[in-house]
Amino acid sequence: MRAFTYERAETPQQAAMAAASTDHARFIAGGTNLLDLMKIEVETPAHLIDVNGLGLDTIEDTDDGGLRVGALVRNTDLAADPRVRRHYGVLTRALVAGASGQLRNKATTGGNLLQRTRCPYFYDTNMPCNKRRPGAGCAAREGFSRQLAVIGGSEHCIATHPSDMAVAMRLLDAEVETVLPNGNTRAIPIADFHRLPGDTPQIDSVLIPGEFITAVTLPRPLGGKHFYHKVRDRASYAFALVSVAAVVQPDGSGRVALGGVAPKPWRREEADEALPRGAKAVMARLLDGAEPTHENRFKVNLAERTLAAVLAEAKE
Amino acid sequence: MSQHPRFKITRRALMIVGAASAASLGLPRLATAGRDGESPTSAPAADDKAATAEVAFTVNGVPRRFTADTRLTLLDALREQLRLTGTKKGCDHGQCGACTVMVNGRRVNACLSLAVMHEGDEITTVEGLGTPDNLDPMQAAFIEHDGYQCGYCTPGQICSAKATLQEIQDGVPSHVTADLNAPMKVTAEEIRERMSGNICRCGAYANILDAVRDVAGEQS
């Protein structure tokens, strides 16, 4: 691990200012992803801003019937909140499908959104990776790509976004609240929060330097039946090959989002409209334009079959 | 842990000597910071020189205060600074669970946490759960059910097992919880899922499960 200086932030705006005005600074909250990457020197911050003392760890009711989740609410606490369990079951299901009990106790709501990819070439500093070293090339496209994206990638990067939580939040149309270094705040729809790689795969989100996530808001509950089906190589504690988040209403309408297939949580509202016609109709729209590799072509079929299983369960 | 009386130098002492000589071979020297009353900001890390910060927390009820390289993980602080070697280093990347300890009553991977981030925290390691003469029920159950072979993962397994039962009692759902809104139950399936962050390369899982179920049965 490279040496770094360390400070504890006192307010969100001070954290944002410090991050914007210090070279190679990073926020640290749970640290479960950042420290892992610092140990292998994929991340080499010169300065860490510890935000754990900022509070931001409560879940509050909003005026329009939704919830405002503080950025530092731990994954365990968000999953266990009685309001989330009752009205946002897909979010609880997604959270407990991710990581291990120990990691969920540390990992935060804001940090989970900012996880880096688990693409093996991003982790292996001996291999070229445009996300880790822009311009180096992408070893994944011709390499071991079984885990990687089938849609939304570019010739420069086919990494997937690893978060389960973010897939549920995309399904729920959450908003990400931030504070900027100049003290202004903004709310970013989750659909716009994560970027596709294009020719700048090193930039994962639309956050500007120093911008700090303070909360994630969930709109009023959707009702319906909630599902998060995650297909992976182990029964527990593994990243998704494919995951399907869905809310299905009694009349068969609803929403679908996918994890494990794209550089960001993958949802197209026009695909939701096809839900009453079944999984094949949904996937024809949701995965239209997919460009799988020879190793991950199976994900296209797997996504459709996983959604079919969800829809069968919804009818029970 | 008992030391064999016939050995003058334990393996552990040898490793400490080894570490000390490595330090004398030009690893960056620790510059101490930490003037009393200063804001909790570390001394500068010029180029790749180590930065340090003061930190104080409680381990097994004993207050500890020391100057830490900012890079020091909680795991290395426990083992190398405080000489509490019950907590084990396995993968050092949060994948194996050997380093599981309790921080403010919740299980975490000590390897994925910086020591300087634990100001004021209450940390419990396996040494704080029981002693050879006064075992914690979970420790006794692991012995009773032979819930280990080599024993390296065992301290992490025991900390995680205690937390698992507490989390079920506290109503924290898991991936296998059928009804998110009903009271949680202790089942074999729940224990297996909740213990998936603790790897046992000897494969003692069946006996670990028996040990945890035994303790859960006594509690309920």
Domain regions of chain B by residue span: 7-37, 51-95+113-125, 129-220
Polymer length of chain A: 316
Measured between beta carbons, which residues in chain A are less than 8 angstroms from residue B112? 31-32, 35-36, 103, 106
- CA distances, B111 to each of B59, B82, B99, B115 (Å): 16, 15, 6, 10
CB contact under 8 A, B175 and A48: no
Q: Which residues of B touch A100 (CB under 8 A)?
A: 94, 97, 196-198
Considering only CB atoms, B45 lies closest to which of A46, A79, A86, namely: A46
Which residues from B are below 8 Å from A4, CB to CB?
45, 51, 70-71
Query: Whole-angstrom Cα distance, residue A40 to residue A28?
Result: 17
Integer Rg of chain A from CA: 19
Q: Check if B189 contacts A (Cβ < 8 Å).
A: no
Separation in Å, CA of B117 to nearest CA in chain A: 7
| First-residue to last-residue Cα distance in chain B | 31
Q: Per-10-residue mean pLDDT for chain A, 316 residues long?
A: 96 97 97 98 98 98 98 98 98 98 98 98 97 98 96 98 98 98 98 98 98 98 98 96 98 98 98 98 98 97 98 96
In chain A, how long is the greatest CA-to-CA distance?
Answer: 58
| Alpha carbon separation from A126 to A36, A41, A136 (Å, rounded) | 17, 11, 11
Cβ contact, residue pair A6, B109, below 8 Å: no
Given a contact cutoff of 8 angstroms between Cβ atoms, the answer to whether B121 and A53 are in contact is no
Alpha-carbon distance A182 to A168, whole Å? 31
Q: Which residue has the tokens 């029981």?
A: B130
Q: Which residue among B70, B93, B180 sits closest to A4, beta carbon to beta carbon?
A: B70
| Chain A CA closest to residue B102 | A102
CB contact under 8 A, A5 and B112: no
Q: What is the pLDDT of residues A160-204, one digit of tens each?
A: 999 999 999 999 999 999 999 999 999 999 999 999 999 999 999
Angle of CA points B14, B16, B19, to nearest 5°: 110
pLDDT tier at B218 (50, 70, 90 boundaries)? confident
Quote the CA–CA distance of B128 and A49 in Å, as a whole number: 31
Report the mean per-residue pLDDT for chain B.
85
Domain B51-95+113-125 sits in CATH 3.10.20.30: yes
Within an 8 Å CB–CB cutoff, is residue A58 touching chain B?
no
Measured CA to CA, the distance from residue A128 to residue A198 in angstroms comes to: 17
| Mean pLDDT within B5-13 | 42
Q: Mean pLDDT over residues B62-83, rounded?
A: 97
ipTM: 0.96
Residues 6+ away with beta carbon under 8 Å from A284: A274
Which CATH architecture best describes the domain B129-220?
Orthogonal Bundle (1.10)
Q: How many residues make up chain B in this entry?
A: 220
- Which pTM value belongs to this model? 0.92
